[in-house]
Structure 1
């Protein structure tokens, strides 16, 4: 299914339309810039929701919303190799402490504090495996920044310092087994894993990260239930 087909399908979802309406209300009420954080388990649809909302709102008001991921703040493989225990750091890549949370918070602050400037954001491609610094330009015309990621609502490892900059905190509440099934499919597509290899990866690392991410649900001010 193409992105266009997927987004057209989501147009029929009452759940997605309700969330879209919530953003439109926020835009009308807030004269200043807004940051919306979308957390959830791996495979729960965080990036799909964020990209859908940005696409549909920008169709009505061009250049108003930007959708980005915290994945760009992964430490690179080279940086992880310089950790005290490189083997453990690489094996647990994707855990909260393998992200540059300080720089993540700095970029959020810049979006809020310097609305006249273009903000640059790092990108991350799971197939490539390392972030690309300053790959995404967020121009001054952007009023709403949607930031999705496992740990955007996490309260440890430096991510707790992000909360001061968030206007809305959302959590996609999906059953963990359903989320991990979606993640297994993504692993197979991104890395040409067999189904067995995908589940081995999940059991060794991703399931642990999912449990950590799930604990941040209580810090969201809006739960988006997916069943």
Structure 2
């Protein structure tokens, strides 16, 4: 059960393009010591760690510099007539600056508009080290989650990381028809030039202009061979849909 809800929680989290970030008001600032919520764009490392590209001028960044403890709320309740019956995930952790160019590129691929300001000197990438989670999967379905349910071990993603660019390039250059099928047949999106922008053990990200979508894998994908098999399987499912 824990593993199943962990998969559900990671899928919800990775599908969210934005989240509510809660930081602690810094000493000497307005609202010192009080929780301070703000809206942020989110990306994800292959292990599932949330990524933030934020400006040093923002209040939430100043708060994190004083105290790295933070919370994130990922809201999956859209489309539910009663939003309180929909799924949502709260995570607590510590936000740390991370200069890994690969993580920055993952964020920009997910949010192309970020390329316009990603190079500004006041913007930096932060990775949230998740410590625990609280998942409400629906009315009365409440689960506490340990960090290892939300963050994958290196054995689950290291080999995939080495080939992710090859996989994405190959799918976009040689199998654009398959990517279109994923979006239109499996995800109910309009046909409008979809491309694969990211892949991880839990699924892949797709984008067409301002539209974005998330395709979940049927099981955990750890390397290029597993990715190929799953992507081929999903094409078959799409063609039968």
Q: Which category of TM-score, normalised to the shorter sequence, fits these structures?
A: under 0.3
Q: With CA pairs under 8 Å and 6+ residues apart, which has the higher RCO, 1 or 2?
A: 1
Who wins on radius of gyration, i.e. which is larger? 2
TM-score (norm 2): 0.24
| Higher share in strand | 2
